[in-house]
Amino acid sequence: MYIKRHIEEAVLKRAKMKGAVVVTGARQVGKTTLIENLKPDIPKITLDDLPTRRRAINSPSTFFNITPPPVFVDEVQYAPEIFHYIKILLDKSHNKGDFFLTGSQSFELMKNVTESLAGRAGILELMGLSLREINGEAWNKPFLPTFEYLKRRNEKKTNLRIPEIWKIIHWGCLPELVLNADFDWADFYADYVKTYIERDIRRLTQVADEESFYRFMTVCAAMSGQLLNLSSLANDVGISVPTAERWLSVLKTSGIVYLLKPYSNNAIKRAVKTPKLHFLDIGMASYLTRWMDPDNLSIGANNGSFFESFVVSEILKSYTNSGKEANLYFLRDGNKKEIDLLIHENNTLYPIEIKTKAEPDEKDIKSFNMLDNIKGVNIGEGGIICFANDFLQLNEKNYIIPLLMV
């Protein structure tokens, strides 16, 4: 069974504009399945197959003679030698949509794309399934907390009870797991993390002690939704700060974590300049931190920060699935006043608070007044994303936004 992905439209649009379309993302988010379903009529080459990979590496100039474009090349990062020949073929033909390329290791993949296919490739990132996709919704617009967006979204949203939502959050967003409710959740993530460390981490960085990297991932998961503290992170794992910084970069480029940038403006006194760390799959974060069932997660010490990470990842997916860049920030001043999320769009800042409450009130957005003195940018509508059942107006410019309207 295939779950329809909202990024499909963006992939087809890029294929009309560029000679190659590159889809990158974390392991097992569904990149291969996406292209197989979008382009069932073109041949597929997988470089995960060792003999095929050897042919591509040893004879890149003739590799596409046997399987000429249009063609789908999976795990393309394993044979960087072919990127130059893709460039040559595209420069000769000037065709659009001749190559569909996918790869899990975005660091290596993007290095080769930027060096060889600059201007010739449309680049998209596929993340795990969104809540919209899991619920089978057709709504695929990038999220904005405006009345116009929210009114239209409210007409299309799915209704779920809070325990059902926590079950989805805890279960995770990887398609194979979502499609197989009878899978053993802990075994699935144990295998996923083991494979990720043994294959991708060995390839991306020299890790002498894989157990240390596992501890590093676990500490990062425990910090999800919180300010990044590299010194504390390194100390907890027993590694140097430069090593922690390098390993964190690997998790980021692998699509495991997202660093939410702090918003800075001269009008904000002593604004925090440290990013926030967000795990992009709360199922994996729950497994690493040993929250073994959704009921305990929903009332546990991590429930607020994990919920915040989940909401940030859902908003991020709404943009990446549309093929658009997400300009997301947070704001915290020296007095620890904080706005959980700012969306910057068309010179306008849209402020958002994220709460596990079902009945928030205006006190929950008092930090929005931090934006009053900012010059040169408009302050748009905003609100509180939470477990409320109904979309309601909080005041003139802000709304109570049910999670299922993201």
pLDDT tens per residue across span 173-184: 999 999 999 999
Per-residue confidence (pLDDT) for residue 292, from 0 to 100: 96
Adjacency order of strands within the sheet including 99-103: 44-46, 71-74, 99-103, 20-24, 121-125
Label residues 348-370 b or e (16+ Cβ within 10 Å = b): ebbbbbbbbeeebeeebbebbeb
Helical segments of 254-344, H only: 282-288, 294-299, 303-320
- Specify the 3-state DSSP secondary structure of 225: coil
Side-chain-side CA neighbours of 148 within 13 Å: the count stands at 4
Rounded to an integer, the average pLDDT of 64-81 is: 91
**Could you tell me the pTM of the whole model?**
0.93
Contacts of 232 (CB under 8 A, 6+ apart): none
Domains of the chain, residue spans: 8-125, 131-405
How many other CB atoms are found less than 10 A from the CB of residue 378?
Answer: 12
- Of 3.40.50.300, 1.10.3810.10, 3.30.750.24, 1.25.50.10, the CATH number of 8-125 is 3.40.50.300
Question: Rounded to whole angstroms, how far apart are CA atoms 364 and 368?
Answer: 9
Q: Beta partners for 45?
A: 73
Per-residue confidence (pLDDT) for residue 8, from 0 to 100: 97
Give me the phi and psi of 133, to 5 degrees please.
Answer: -70, -40
Whether 324 shows a pLDDT value over 80: the answer reads yes
Rounded to an integer, the average pLDDT of 77-84 is: 88
Per-residue confidence (pLDDT) for residue 14, from 0 to 100: 97
Per-residue confidence (pLDDT) for residue 207, from 0 to 100: 67
Question: Rounded to whole angstroms, how far apart are CA atoms 304 and 318?
Answer: 21
Rounded to an integer, the average pLDDT of 231-250 is: 92
Per-residue confidence (pLDDT) for residue 208, from 0 to 100: 64
> Residue 319: which of 258, 276, 388, 377 has the closest Cα?
258
Amino acid at 75: E
Whether 62 shows a pLDDT value over 90: the answer reads no
Cα 373 to the chain's mean position, in Å? 32
Whether 269 shows a pLDDT value over 70: the answer reads no
Rounded to an integer, the average pLDDT of 336-363 is: 94
Of 112-116, 122-126, 214-218, where does mean pLDDT reach its minimum?
112-116
Question: Rounded to whole angstroms, how far apart are CA atoms 95 and 145?
Answer: 40
Whether 100 shows a pLDDT value over 90: the answer reads yes
Per-residue confidence (pLDDT) for residue 265, from 0 to 100: 72
Per-residue confidence (pLDDT) for residue 170, from 0 to 100: 98
